[in-house]
Amino acid sequence: MATPLPNLQQTTSPPAAPRPRPIPRLRWWIGGMLFAMTVINYIDRQTINVLAPILKKEHQWTNSDFAWILISFRVGYTIMQSINGRLLDRFGTRLGLSISVTFYSAVQMLTTLAKGLGGLCGFRFLLACGEAANNPGSTKAVSEWFPARERAWAVALFDSGCCIGAAVAPFLVLFVYKRFGDWRPVFLLTGSLGAVWLLIWRVLYRKPEEHPRLAASELEHIQRGRIHQGLTDVTLPAVKWPMLLKYRQSWGILLGRFLIDPYWFFVGDWFAVYLASKGFDLEHSLLGFWAPFLAADVGNFFGGGLSSYWIKRGWPVGRARRAVLLIFGPSMLVLIGAAFTSNYAMLLGLFAYATFAYAACSTMFLSLPADVFHTRVVGSVSGLAGTAAGIGTLITTFLIGKVTDRFSFEPVVITASIIPCIATVAFFTMVRTSKQEDSDKVLLRF
């Protein structure tokens, strides 16, 4: 009798599924997604600021009336930065930012339904609640994907999206407004940008250890950076807010952001109104409107690149960050000159340099949570810092409306040039490596 042939279908193991081809320099693709999210974020929020002269004229609002729209946004942003930071630490960067972008994109489109001052205030509050996850989420993603010597570059990349978004917004908003003769379609268009971003984000983002398209050599490069900084265990227990507030480093970061961030929102929220107060029409000075935002973009990368250069030459991370702040924080005093001139080119030049210097400092402050703290609390620290920045911005937004209605923008400009010096002092005195052992393993060696 012939011997039966073996059942090859039962004895042969199925071939292993081929591993997806790695994406070269995947961490920088992740950085690019964070940049794109920030661009969209700022186009959405700048829409109302670019339309401010049009809305003020249409509704006969004063600067104080318009300030309430800005304050509504700041209240939501201030409250939700800490909450979003905590949620990002708990549920992860991928899911947290997916929910955030979905929510604020929908709110931006629904703003077309707003009627009057109260309606716009309500929608801006909701927009801020979603957008408040941007900085904590981006900083947390940077802490997961980049070693210390590259973090300032990565932070500069995503933070530069603020400047690009703010610079693109006037052209996009005014084009759509002129095309339709109404401000409502502007919100529909700008709100739809987040949907495209979301599709790509859901496909691309995972933690490095979980990513199927990350090359082994790049994963080793990322993990080596963690070991060098003392970040070897990413599974330590969660840390609550009260514990974070016992560290002077936390308070230094919070105080620094409280003092320095209002400058950026002064430029972002009020620059169109400021130029109008000087007699410059927005349509005819549109190219000049770019100047501070383009300068900020350069400042992001210059500050990040300079500190990274010093780290590569062997400087400790903290020393490199402090050096950048010491150079550029006090140099913002040049903005005082803007209070004493009405020359258009001179005004743009002074604001451009001051915003360049601010951006170099801002990159350092945004990098600090990832430099100073374990990755499991980076979202929380960054969120708390954002809340501190929001409180400072709320106070200054209210005061700017009152001061400019009663006096002029000159006292505001002078104050905005002085406060960054105080922020620099706060950082120098409070954000330093602790000499005592940290039993909770929250602080890193920086």
Q: What is the pLDDT of residues 346-381, one digit of tens each?
A: 888 898 999 999 989 888 888 878 778 777 777 788
pLDDT at position 108, please?
A: 92
Q: Cα(250)–Cα(235) distance, rounded to whole angstroms? A: 22
CA dihedral 154, 157, 162, 163 (to 10 degrees): 140
Q: Cα(382)–Cα(367) distance, rounded to whole angstroms? A: 9
Contacts of 124 (CB under 8 A, 6+ apart): 48, 69, 70, 72, 73, 76, 111
pLDDT tier for residue 5 given thresholds of 50, 70 and 90: very low
Nearest partner of 152 among 38, 268, 160, 6, judged by Cα: 160
pLDDT tier for residue 226 given thresholds of 50, 70 and 90: low
Rounded to the nearest integer, the mean pLDDT of the chain is 82
Question: pLDDT (tens digit, 9 = 90+) per residue, 386-443?
Answer: 888 888 888 888 888 788 788 878 888 888 888 888 888 888 788 777 666 656 677 6
pLDDT over 50 (residue 6): no
CB 313 within 8 A of CB 327: no
Largest CA distance in the chain: 110
| Bridge partners for 443 per DSSP | 373
pLDDT at position 36, please?
A: 93
Residue with tokens 């950048």: 324
pLDDT at position 197, please?
A: 94
pLDDT over 80 (residue 287): no
